[in-house]
Amino acid sequence: MMVKTLLSALFFTTVVFSSGSAVAATPVSYDQKADEVAHGGGCRKSSPPGSCCHKNRKTGEVHCH
């Protein structure tokens, strides 16, 4: 019974500390390009109106044309 309790406590401690360190070690950047609206190389003349969008990196504003 005591061995089972000890193993359970060890498992719980391992899970708690390993998940916390993994989260703490993961770098987070709020200026990632994943949230940007992108269009490769500019707008095509054949693009429908409003489908070509660009984001100003300095202001964060998005405009579409």
pLDDT value at 47 more than 50: yes
User: What are the pLDDT digits (tens) for 5-44?
Assistant: 766 766 666 655 555 544 455 555 544 444 444 545 577 7
38 vs 45, residue with greater confidence: 45
pLDDT at 56 (0 to 100): 87
Give the model's pLDDT for residue 55. Answer: 86
Res 34: pLDDT: 44
| Domain residue extents for the chain | 1-25
Burial 16-34 (b: 16+ CB within 10 A, else e): eeeeeeeeeeeeeeeeeee
Model pTM above 0.75:
no
